[in-house]
Amino acid sequence: MKGRPEPMARVNGSSNGSVDSSTETESEAPMYMAAQPKLSKQYSAFASILRHGQPTKIEAAVEKYQKMTWQQKLSMILVAILWRLNKYLKLLGFIVEWTLNLLNLNGGPFGLLYKVFLLKWGDIILPQPDSDTYLSLIALIDSRSTLFVDTSQTGKADSTRADTVAFPAENVGSRSTADVCVMAAKVAYESPAVIEKVVTQGMKMHFVKFFNCWNEYQQMKNTQAFVFMDKPKNANAVVVAFRGTECFNGYDWSTDVDFSWVRLQDLGGVHLGFLEALGLGTRDSISTFVKMRKNANESRSKTQTQENEEAAIAPPNTPRSPHHKLKPEILATTATSGLSQEVIDDPDKVLAYDEITKQVSMLLLDNPNAKLFVTGHSLGGALAALYSTMLHFTGETEVASKIGAVYTFGQPRVGDQDFADYANSVLKGKYFRVVYCNDVVPRVPFDNDLFSFRHFGDCAYFNSVYDGLKLQEEPNRNFFGVRRLLTMHLNAAWEVVQGALLMPLQHGDEFRETKVSFVYRLVGLVLPGIAGHSPTNYVNSMRLGPLPLKERLKGDIADAAEEFHLMHDNLKDIAYIVVSALPALPGSDVVSFAAQKIFNS
């Protein structure tokens, strides 16, 4: 059936090919396809890359490997290369960010040169990576740190004012809630000191905790998240924000382009890298996912039993409610992770899913009127979507029932059609998946018969002038294709002009882009999908785009004719904005009138 992965490979044991029969049986072992970027020393670099990702034992659909697509081969090679280049990317990232912070702290290039030439050595501020003034490349691209105050009377931003209550009780899709979530997703890239400063001073909210979590497969702390509330007591909202793909982190980028998945009963096929990032297992041993599934089933069964017992003694006609956990029960909760007990018990190896859930449970216990909001950009968006779905799968019904909304921005695909069906059933009406124009990340891993990854929920799609539509799927869903190559590069050129000149003219200095952002947009002239992934685009979309979104298309907009209509609308919007931004000249009224006619046609 289209949309569901056919049996590809069944692998028992670790990546070295050994069989771990002591912890699982053949009937229990889930189907999975795993890339293995831990390159063996016994091969040359090139040979090991070619061997990357091949399963130990193939039991079905061998012909699929003989018909491997160029996308699959590219994915295999990219993952292995990114792992090998990670230390060099880290070094490059440190040099770039330290230099940019040096310039930023000293008034730019001219300010720094002024201090140097006048021998004011003591006035030169040297960046300190752990300080609350040391910014990541993301913050240097987009320096905004306060929430949006919409003062417009008409136009795109006239739906829900963002200077009202940040978390309205009913409308979780409001502009104000979306703005808090996109800002949280953006600031998640920063150090703990910067995050706390932005939350408390910029967003005027209450910072709770930063999590630096362990990834057993990567053998490092590579999953970051933080938790905050709208106020210290009697909170209306508890927010969890996951960090996305860091610009100079090869492991993060490898997760985005990885095609590996594991198929779990009752859940469907799920991206292996995202499960590993949440600390739920490792592809080094398939038994960890068997154990995780068993833990989830036991937890869900226990919760259902408790809820049935509570419903049986409740007064007649009492609505069924989730089991309410008190502090001792929360603290005694058994870990969902399938990793070894040694890893689970190690205080230095914080496992994201279990530790964040425990923290959120305690906060919701102390703030019974609060709703839970989960958000993230890029990889962080995928983790936000998976985390929220896993709350239901693992029987955390009380926490799951408190979910107000899940906002993801530029999120890669998380699982197959079965996972999408399950996630849709538990997150319906609470899931907002935002995609900006030509952003490449929401188009991977690929949505085709071989990879079988699918998005779930509607797509909140924004074009390059931040006009939004509610679609079933983003255009050009697998990104690569000669037909869209020219339009993507032309659109990237428009984004350079718009960001450098038109945004501050139309919307004020708040939307003036930094010099670093300008350089980053220039990259889009060569790699439009990378520049389109900038959080700047998503912040602008939430602040300028129409909310609620217009619902335009019902079918699969991968159809060429429907894509043409979207591109046509985008070109009309661009033409209108260019004309409306022209300075007052003789005859400008006539030109503006003509542009308005074109725009409304």
Strand partners for 454: 415
Which residue intervals of 162-247 are DSSP H helices? 175-187, 192-197
What are the Cα distances from residue 278, in Å, to 303, 350, 355, 583?
22, 10, 10, 52
Rounded Cα gap, residues 397 and 304, in angstroms: 9
Q: 373 exposed, middle or buried (CB, 10 Å; 0-12, 13-18, 19+)?
A: buried
138, two tokens: 């993301």
Rounded Cα gap, residues 113 and 107, in angstroms: 10
| Bond into 445 cis (ω within 30) | yes
Rounded Cα gap, residues 392 and 105, in angstroms: 46
Rg over alpha carbons for the chain, rounded to the nearest Å, is: 25
469, two tokens: 């539509």
Own/partner long-range contacts of 297-306 (Cβ < 8 Å, ≥24 apart): 297/266, 298/334, 299/333, 299/334, 299/336, 299/394, 299/395, 299/396, 300/393, 300/394, 300/395, 301/395, 302/395, 303/395, 303/396, 303/397, 304/395
Select which of 256, 439, 447, 467 is catalytic.
439
Rounded Cα gap, residues 312 and 562, in angstroms: 53
Select which of 15, 361, 533, 534 is catalytic.
533
Q: Clarify whether 378 is annotated catalytic.
A: yes
Select which of 48, 176, 337, 378 is catalytic.
378
Rounded Cα gap, residues 120 and 124, in angstroms: 7
Which residue intervals of 34-187 are DSSP H helices? 45-51, 63-66, 70-105, 108-117, 137-141, 175-187
Contacts of residue 366, Cβ cutoff 8 Å, sequence gap at least 6: none
Return the biggest CA–CA distance within the chain.
84
Q: What are phi and psi of 190, to 5 degrees?
A: -90, 175
Which residue intervals of 417-551 are DSSP H helices? 417-427, 482-497, 503-507, 515-523, 528-531, 535-544
Q: Clarify whether 533 is annotated catalytic.
A: yes
Place of tokens 């000293």: 106
Q: What is the DSSP string of 13-56?
A: S-TTS---TTT--TTTPPPEE----S--TTS-HHHHHHHTT--S
CB 311 within 8 A of CB 173: no
Rounded Cα gap, residues 255 and 379, in angstroms: 8
CB 227 within 8 A of CB 240: yes
Strand partners for 226: 210, 241
Q: Clarify whether 568 is annotated catalytic.
A: no
Mode of pairing for the β-strands spanning 371-377 and 468-471:
unpaired
Contacts of residue 345, Cβ cutoff 8 Å, sequence gap at least 6: none
What is the dihedral sign for C-alpha 549, 553, 556, 559? negative
Q: List b or e across 274-288, with b for residues whose CB sees 16 or more CB atoms inside 10 angstroms.
A: bbbbbbbbbbbbbbb
* Strand residue runs (E) in 204-279: 206-215, 220-229, 237-242, 261-264, 268-271
Instruction: State the amino acid at position 253 in one-letter form.
Output: W
Catalytic (active-site) positions: 378, 439, 533
